[in-house]
Chains A and B, each alone.
Chain A
Amino acid sequence: MASESTSDAACVRRLQRGDINAFEILVRRHEKAIFNLVYRMLGNYDDAAETTQEVFLSAYRAIGQFRGDANFSTWLYRIALNQATTRRKSANLRQKMLVSIDGTDMVDDAQIGPAETLEKKELRERVQRALNELEPEDATVILLRDLQDIPYEDLAQMLKIPVGTVKSRLHRARQALKARLAAYFRAGRKAV
């Protein structure tokens, strides 16, 4: 019987032998990270929930093809990026993304006042909108590195590109994001 302490590799082996309980462990272990990545890629909570569910079910269907060459998490992230990128590219969703201010990024810091809370909320929505406007691969590398804190080596494996390419792509993506947030930075500095 698989337990919460069982490694991903062991859970995968059990799952490949038909132990569906092992899959539940994998879902619980990775659902939060995958959901947040997908959510930041899409900018919509419901779409993110739906896409994340599809990510796990796709992994479940294809678990027989997972050979263990990479970590299960790396394989799962790759599925998530593919699914989110496909979803993001749909014109319908793009339209929704441009107006997506769904109030999900609530600020729950009780030590700050209402004005500051509103400002923080507005800032997060701007960042999310800037991410939505980036090219998918730029948003991906920023989110994986700066939000998920994934090492360069794993990023290289996940994106199937060399580590040097990951670094240069990350630098270019950060500059693109900075350009999207330039107005905010100018206003903020002026305010400061």
Chain B
Amino acid sequence: MNCQEAQLQLSGYLEKSLDAIRMKSIETHLSSCPFCRAEVHGLSDCIRLVSDLPVLDPPAGFTQRVMAHAREIELEPHSWQRFFAAFKVTVPVQAAAVVLVSVLAILLYQRQPEVKNIALSEKASPAVLPSEVEQKTIPAAKNSPTIASEQPSRARNTKRDNNDPLETAPHPIGKARQQSAPAGASIKDPAVAAAKPENAMDKPLESRLAPRRPAIQAQEVSTASDSPRPSADALAIGAAIGALSRSPLRPSPFSAETALSPLSEPIPDFEFVVKRRSSARAVPNEALRKRSETTPVSTGATERSAPSAPSGPSPIVEIRWFTVAPEHYEQFRKELAAEAIIDAERSVAAKEMDFGLKRSRELLIKVTVLPSDG
């Protein structure tokens, strides 16, 4: 080993980090080379001098100062946090909310035609509709009206039990929604209560789509489901209604209450004041009368809601509400005339102003029934 080779390994020799063979060869070289021996002494002194340097303590309170500064610093986030932080900066919450609302609106818009399509297909399909009507109306016809009122057909029965305060106001947008929403059904009714879960998916959508009419007290709507029971109809106009049983009827927009509030009565599209024909006078059946959506009202309320009705000694016995498709109005009127004597007929002027709108929905008809002269 020469001096150049030895000096390259002197640091390792001093640290004893060389293998035994190299250590031995360097020792052999150092024993015979005073120059390299002096070099080893010099390096050894350097290592010792540096390692002998005293270890100093940091200034007093150093940790506290560092921590005080650190608490004033907001930690830099992780790389993934920085990634998402960029979105936070560029997409504020308001913008995200706008996007969310837009998406929901599109979804609702896309689902609305589906609901309409269901209604249209049911309306247009004669094979389905009659059977459906039969299925839903026959049980009600078979049962006594009282029972029928306790177990209303979920799809068709839009009658309201006046005494049921738990009824909610349904929407006026057609049969499909009648089926999905148990219109006129009492929540107390176990049959309806059992039917509620299967409609749970439809109801929120309907409630969003359907503009709710305000709940109006002490009013009812007769629908086609009532008509197959002419004998049960105390007013003897069930046949007229029955003729309209397959017309799309608007469900009752009213909640059932016993008292009629002058402020809450809806404005009908047409008003009729009729007298019973003496031949059509059915045997009064108190149970049926109660069932057939009749509501005794005060004279004052009647005069307000039907000012054209003849005032006189004969009291008004009933007020009935109907919803009829515009194209069936004339038919309704004829059959009403066949069943009762029309004393007065009035089309509400204010409502006629939006006739264009009226054509697109169903007509609300108020029939005030007076006792027969005979």
Whether A20 contacts B53 in the complex (CB less than 8 A), given A57-B73, A64-B78, A174-B43, comes out as no
> In the assembled complex, which residues on chain B have CB atoms less than 8 Å from the CB atom of A123?
49
B40-85 interface (Cβ within 8 A of A): 42-43, 45-47, 49-59, 62-63, 65-67, 69-71, 73, 75-79, 81
Whether A60 contacts B75 in the complex (CB less than 8 A), given A31-B63, A171-B8, comes out as yes
Chain B nearest CB from A167 CB (Å) reads 7
In the complex, per-residue mask of A177-188: 1 if CB is within 8 Å of any chain B CB, else 0: 110011001000
B10 at the interface (CB under 8 A from A): yes
A128 at the interface (CB under 8 A from B): yes
A32 at the interface (CB under 8 A from B): yes
Whether A105 contacts B46 in the complex (CB less than 8 A), given A52-B62, A60-B70, comes out as no
Chain B nearest CB from A121 CB (Å) reads 10
* A36 to B71 alpha-carbon distance, docked (Å): 25
In the complex, per-residue mask of A6-46: 1 if CB is within 8 Å of any chain B CB, else 0: 00000000001010100110011001100110011000010
What is the size, in residues, of chain B's interface with A at 8 Å between Cβ atoms? 36
Chain A, interface residues (CB within 8 Å), range: 35 or more
Are B56 and A36 in touch, CB under 8 angstroms?
yes
Identity of the chain B residue whose Cβ is nearest the Cβ of A16 in the assembled complex: B78
A70 at the interface (CB under 8 A from B): no
Identity of the chain A residue whose Cβ is nearest the Cβ of B55 in the assembled complex: A36
A53 at the interface (CB under 8 A from B): yes
B204 at the interface (CB under 8 A from A): no
Of the listed stretches A81-89, A91-99, A110-118, A142-150, name the one at the interface; the rest are far from the partner chain. A142-150
* A57 to B77 alpha-carbon distance, docked (Å): 15
Which listed residue (A24, A64, A168, A177) contacts B50, Cβ 8 A?
A177
Q: How would you classify the secondary structure of chain B's contact residues: helix, strand, loop or mixed?
A: helix
B165 at the interface (CB under 8 A from A): no
Whether A174 contacts B78 in the complex (CB less than 8 A), given A27-B63, A53-B66, A128-B53, comes out as no
Are A61 and B77 in touch, CB under 8 angstroms?
no
Which listed residue (A35, A174, A185) contacts B58, Cβ 8 A?
A35
Are B76 and A170 in touch, CB under 8 angstroms?
no
Are B81 and A64 in touch, CB under 8 angstroms?
yes
Chain B interface (Cβ < 8 Å from any Cβ of A): 8, 10-12, 17, 42-43, 45-47, 49-59, 62-63, 65-67, 69-71, 73, 75-79, 81
Q: A64-B77, A65-B76, A142-B50 are in contact. List 16 more A-B contacts (CB 8 A).
A: A18-B75, A20-B70, A35-B56, A39-B56, A57-B69, A57-B70, A60-B73, A61-B75, A64-B75, A64-B79, A105-B54, A124-B54, A142-B46, A146-B46, A178-B43, A178-B46
